[in-house]
Amino acid sequence: MINKFLYTFIGLLLLLTSCKKTVNETTTSDPVVKDSIIKYTDRFDKLLAYPVDSMSFPRSSDHYGKIKKVPSKDWTSGFFPGSLWYIYKLTGNQKYLDRAKEWTTLVEKEKSNNRTHDMGFKIFCSYGNGYRFTKDTIYKNVIIESAKTLSTRYREKVGAIRSWDFNKKEWDFPVIIDNMMNLELLFEASLYTNDSIYKRIAYQHAQTTLKNHFRKDNSTYHVVDYDTISGKVRSKVTHQGFADESSWARGQTWGIYGYTMAYRYTKDSLFLEQAKKTAHFFMTHHNLPDDGIPYWDFNAPKIPEEPLDVSAAAVMASALIELYSFTNEQKYLDFSDKIIENLSSQKYVIQSETDIPFILDHSTGNWPKDDEIDGPINYGDYYFLEALFRRKELINK
């Protein structure tokens, strides 16, 4: 059952889409709607006001409001323009469309960067949304070129796409669960070109990951390292989680989202079943707080004093909406609604007077390196906005 908050919030988005009035001119007797209009349009405008600069994509912010700025080669560069695309679709306001186009253009040079597996995060979150919402063939051509580049990292013997090039003294061919998210770029490229090679690579990568990344309890390892000669697994470890055998929260949601998305393109029932099983692991874990916003690792030793990871919750909320669309199991939609409602509370939304280009607080990036702990991170915003967009589309249907 859709809760009252979701009806109110989606109603607000539809209002913003169809109404030409400004925020100050909008009238409503519902105080929740009034509060939401002021809260979200203010945060959206913080993103809009951030100056366009090819070397300064806003990635995160510390507790003092200092913004971490990165160039387009950083794996997170696609999330900021992607967020602007979603804000445009949620509000219908042309100014967000114009700014989304400006920022998206600055990511184009990454289409030939073969030193990273993060082509999907960078290109598909920016150019992918650009093409989906405008059908401009310029965007499609960049996606196809990016798919060609990403395909060069595939190793037939392993049956997977290489994730990282660093740490070569310890790893031979590392594959991380995050890499499932980059497969959407390849699946779409096959549709655009009628060339099955991209889908074949993506499908095989998903099958290899399914075989080796998941534990008996359906949680996922972060990193699986392969031998390039034999193709066999060398080790299963973590890089951003608490320990090799712990369950890093965002890693679980990458897996749920990734296999739900892979099912969309392949209709392989094993992919859908894995998404459901790992979602069950997440949703029923005894260390998950009541509001559905996880600690950064389900096995972190100082729970409940550990930092939360809003970004993991946002990915989960978005993934569960699509999982619901394939299964029609109400529990997935209800859990997503709960996350969206709680992330929309004062506890997680950045205060209006805080002048930084982010929406949500309390994400955790890389705890082992003490990097981006308990603060705003752009991919948390991106998947939160995607969840709202998917929820709006579901109601429209």
Tell me phi and psi for residue 218, to 5 degrees: 75, 10
Q: Is the dihedral of CA 178, 384, 47, 375 positive or negative?
A: negative
**One-letter amino acid for residue 185 of the chain:** L
Which residue among 74, 118, 297, 374 is the active-site one? 118
Strand 223-226 relative to strand 57-61, pairing: unpaired
Tell me the C-alpha to C-alpha distance, in Å, between residue 375 and each of 218, 227, 393.
Answer: 29, 37, 29
Catalytic site includes residue 290 = no
CB 100 within 8 A of CB 130: yes
CB 373 within 8 A of CB 365: yes
**One-letter amino acid for residue 349 of the chain:** V
Structure tokens at 383: 């998947």
Tell me the C-alpha to C-alpha distance, in Å, between residue 144 and each of 151, 191, 270.
Answer: 11, 10, 28
Tell me the C-alpha to C-alpha distance, in Å, between residue 93 and each of 13, 18, 43, 228, 233.
Answer: 11, 10, 14, 50, 50
Q: CA-to-CA distance for 111 and 73, rounded, in angstroms?
A: 10
Composition of the chain by helix, strand, coil, percent to 5: 55, 10, 35
Q: How open is the CA angle 285-305-288, to the nearest 5 degrees? A: 15
Region class of 65: left (phi > 0), else alpha (psi between -120 and 50), else beta: left
Structure tokens at 10: 């989606």
HSE, CB side, 13 Å, CA atoms: give it for residue 354: 21
Tell me phi and psi for residue 235, to 5 degrees: -160, 160
Which residue among 74, 178, 297, 309 is the active-site one? 178
Catalytic site includes residue 42 = no
Q: Point out the residues that are catalytic.
A: 118, 178
